[in-house]
Structure formats: C-alpha cells, structure tokens
Amino acid sequence: MVREHFTQKMTEVKQKVVEMGALVDHIIEIAVTSSQTQNLDLAKSVSDKDDEIDELELEIEKECIMLLALQQPLAKDLRTITSVLKIITDLERMGDNAVNIANITLEIGKEPIINSITDIPKMAEIGRKMLKMSIDAFVNQDIVLAEKAAERDEEVDSLYETVINDILNIITEKRELTKQGTKLMFLGRYLERIADHSTNICERTIYMISGELKEIN
C-alpha cells in the first residue's frame, strides 16, 4: 500500500514536471516572438508567465521533499527525486532567460533591428526543440533521445559564435549600432544558455535511468 502511494505521487510529480516544461516552452516562444516582431506588449507579458513557472517549481519541490521525508524511497527512487529537483531548477532558469530576452526587446523598443542577424531565430528554434526532446526523454526514460537532444547543443554553440562574429563585424563598420549590437549579443547568450539547461536536463535524465552521471559534449 505504501509503495502504491509512493508510485502514484511520483507519477503526479512527473506530470507536473511536464506541465512546467510546457510553460517554459510557451514563455520562450512568447519572448522570442516579441523580439522578432518587436511587440512590446507581448514582451511585457513574459514576467507574469514566469511567475507561474516559479510557483510550479516551488510546488514540485515541496512534494519531492515530502516524498523524501515521509516515504522510504529505493535507490532508483532517490535518483528520480534528486533528478527532478535538478531538472525543475534548470527549467526555472530557462524561464528567467526568457524574461531576459523580453527585457532586451523592451530596451530596444521600436528601433530598427539589424537586418543581417539571421541566426538568432535559428538558435531559438533549436533550443525549443531541445527542450521538448529533453522533457520527452525524461517522461519516457529514453536515454537515446536524451543523448540526441544534448548533441544539438553544439549546433546552438556554433550559431552563437556566428552571431557574435556577425555583430562585431557590423558594429566595427557602423559604430552607431554598438548599443543595439551589444544587446543582441546578450540575447544570443540567453538563447545559448537555454540550450545548456536543456543539456543539463538530458544529463540528469540519463543519471535517473542508469545511475551514471556524465557530461555530454
């Protein structure tokens, strides 16, 4: 009976992690869309969405602590609980990065965006795919999928390097674009960090399944 209760609670916790992942994906989508369209009202809405993510993180964290305190988790159960605690931290930080992206959008305002920066949307697209893959790997306990998702981090890193080089070339020729160029470099950095956090989720998922904690890439 105790074991059945624990299993049911863990199922509920995992479902909330999925819910949190969906919220994070949504907030990233809103932040990136607001940046690309310079929709300032949309950018302003990101902080409110982030509050929902923070609340869900606390809720999941409390439930994990209760499971540790009141149940008798086995070794794999302990790995699952500790992995969940790490994963929700990464998800919360991804939400924070989305807020940072929205804030940059608000700072740039309606100023015409540097047209030649085409790799930032690509970074966002891959980052969101990595997030979805990492959550699917977590839910389905799929090591192969987790590894595939993490491997895409190299693509994001490569695109980020290109973004930096492109912006540096632009502001070298047009000094008046230095301020905006600097903000766009930070925006690229936040997208790069989102991909890093997805990689962390993949690593924790692999640990949860196999008991082996290793860095990917």
pLDDT at 74: 76
Q: What is the CATH number of the domain that holds 12?
A: 1.20.58.220
Task: Report yes or no on 216 lying in a domain.
Answer: no
The radius of gyration of the chain's CA atoms, rounded to the nearest angstrom, is 19
Closest CA to 17 of 100, 163, 135: 135
pLDDT at 116: 60
Burial of 11 (0-12, 13-18, 19+ CB in 10 A): exposed
What CA–CA distance (Å, rounded) separates 65 from 82? 10
Task: Report yes or no on 72 lying in a domain.
Answer: yes
pLDDT at 1: 52
* Domains identified in the chain, total number: 1
Question: Where in the sequence is the domain holding 109, given as residue range(s)?
Answer: 1-210
What CA–CA distance (Å, rounded) separates 195 from 31? 15
Task: Report yes or no on 215 lying in a domain.
Answer: no
pLDDT at 69: 84
pLDDT at 52: 95
pTM, whole model, 2 decimals?
Answer: 0.94
Task: Report yes or no on 217 lying in a domain.
Answer: no
Please give the chain's pLDDT, 217 residues, in tens. 557 777 888 899 999 999 999 999 999 999 999 999 999 999 999 998 999 999 999 999 999 999 888 777 777 889 999 999 999 999 999 999 999 999 999 999 999 988 667 899 999 999 999 999 999 999 999 999 999 999 999 999 999 999 999 999 999 999 999 999 999 999 999 999 999 999 999 999 999 999 887 777 6
